[in-house]
Amino acid sequence: PAFALLGGSVAALGVWKWLAKRQIQEKREEARRTKDEGMRKIAKAVQQFREKVPSAQTDAILSLPLLELTRRLQEGSLSPKTVLYTYLEKALEVTQHTNCLQRFIPECEEQLQEIQEQGEKGLLYGIPVSIKDHIGYKGHLSTCGLVQCLGTVVQEDSVLVKVLKTQGAIPFAVTNVPQSLFSYDCSNPIFGQTLNPLNPQKSPGGSSGGEGALIAGGGSILGIGSDIGGSIRLPSSFCGLCGFKPTAQRLSPFDHLLQPAWLEQCLLNVGLCFPPTPVPCALGPMARDVDSLALCMKALLCQEMFQLDPKKMLRVVSLLQVYSGRAALRVGYYDTDGYFPLPPGVRRSLRDTVAALRQAGHQLVPFSPPRIHYVMNELFLKTFFADGGRAWLDMFTGDTVDPSLKSQVNCCKIPRLGKKLLALILKPLHFLLPLRLKHIAFFSTCRSVKEMWNHQHQIQAYRTEFIAHWTQLQLDVVLCPVLGPAFTTGYPGRLLTAISSTMLYNVLNFPAGVVPVSTVTEADEEELKLYRGCCDDPWDHTLKQAVAGAVGLPVAVQCVALPWQEELCLRFMKEVETLSHEK
């Protein structure tokens, strides 16, 4: 009887697991069917529009920069309907090749009618805008690529969506993201892998990778992403776009589903009620040029934003006045942070940009960011895994883990004592460690509320130290590298800490943006063969493999300013862009 009971229990457990997997699969299939049905409906609507207006100049509209497009929409020489359907058609084409969209927003046609009935035209009147998956839009899902989020419909537009609508913009598409948002690739088990439109073998970056692919492919002229470790700047770098991360509190950082739920739960797990967010998430624009970013920021930093979200800090500064400034800048610069040396093409592009800025009359000052190893190993990763990764792992309950995240998930599953023992044993063999084992030392935890508060104090102390170093050199802005060129798909998950160049400015909460300035040359590719990185260890070898075969792909630089100096950062980005075009 005991054996029979045991056998029956095992069989019942097997059936239960099979049913659970089947239920998950059905949810995924339903989400994909809903996506496909939405695509067919939009394709039909576009076809009907084309039959009614066969003379619409699609290519001419798609080629217009945002500032010129807004001018024509404002003066009435282009209709919002023609522009919307032109971008809907192009977005359909781009997503067929890249899988960058999760869904279209059918309500865009209602918004089209509403803006045409408004008396006053907003700054983004008639502009189709794409938004990242987890930015809330009423009546739609915000999945974060997770099965457990498929049943939760957003009940109200996020503040950002409300402000976009007030300014006359038409949110029309929701773009794909990596599972749980904690990746700079763009893949999840529900909607699949998004590809880079410039090279389908390459990743578009993440976590705003769907935005990057859609805009780079020409299917959107302006997109909104979010950034907590480089999630706007990395896709912009990989896809050859301009992307901007403001100071986090400038644009609704605690909007609906913006801060990853697992991060807030992580802080609660160590005893912090109403937890502060020591490394906050920031919303920001992505577009083809810096002028588009400046216009978007000007539109969003309006009175409506501050009425809807009183937590925002209202800085009464004329963005146009600072952005249009011509005074010479004192620019700090570095081509490596000493933590993760970047490929030859990135360092070459940065040196070329330094030379161009110097020739244009700006003062260039060597700058070395302090203690990057400490920032990466202690400040950044301990914020995200203060509870040992428990909250993050809970997000995958009953779900399949995407291959790009398996390395990190497996590390988090190791018991805390096991991590400490392994780190102690393997520390002397640091340079001989396989790639996966090197993650172990990074997933350190906060063992008490006191330790968590001390950790937050350490972040504030580092910010103070960094700003003191900056002001001692009397810098206006800093020019530095950003990870690139685009990685081959699958590689971002194997190189989590390669993004120290962007992570630093999330810890500091400084405004930062990227500007494409060059492309990978044959000479860069040849020099890559000699690349040894920092330690010539497995991580350096993996980076070399990740960026190989990138001739012709864009290379970007990163521009940084002090907190709340978004206008100055954008002005510096514009200067870099102008000089790169002249060159």
Enumerate the known binding-site residues. Answer: 181, 207, 228-231
| Residue 120: other Cβ atoms inside 10 A | 6
Tell me if residue 132 is catalytic.
Answer: yes
Beta bridge partners of 131: 174, 224
CA gap 388, 266 in Å, rounded: 8
219 within 8 A of 172, measured Cβ to Cβ: no
Annotated binding site for substrate: 181, 207, 228-231
Q: Of these residues, 130, 142, 220, 231, which one is catalytic? A: 231
Tell me if residue 79 is catalytic.
Answer: no
Q: Of these residues, 130, 142, 183, 207, which one is catalytic? A: 207
CA gap 292, 67 in Å, rounded: 7
168 within 8 A of 456, measured Cβ to Cβ: no
Single-letter amino acid, residue 518: S
User: What token pair was written down for 237?
Assistant: 């770098």
Tell me if residue 349 is catalytic.
Answer: no
218 within 8 A of 198, measured Cβ to Cβ: no
Q: Is omega for the bond preceding 171 within 30 degrees of 0, making it cis?
A: no
Beta bridge partners of 330: 363
CA gap 108, 164 in Å, rounded: 12
Q: In what order do the strands lie in the sheet with 242-245?
A: 101-104, 170-175, 128-132, 222-227, 282-287, 242-245, 512-519, 554-560, 477-481, 330-333, 363-366
Beta bridge partners of 285: 224
Q: Of these residues, 81, 90, 132, 574, which one is catalytic? A: 132
Beta bridge partners of 479: 333, 559
Identify the DSSP state of 379. I
517 within 8 A of 523, measured Cβ to Cβ: no
Picking from 242, 228, 267, the residue whose alpha carbon sits closest to that of residue 504 is 228
CA gap 486, 236 in Å, rounded: 10
CA gap 156, 149 in Å, rounded: 16
SS3 letters for 174-198? EECCCHHHCCCCCEECCCEECCECC
Catalogue the active-site residues.
Answer: 132, 207, 231
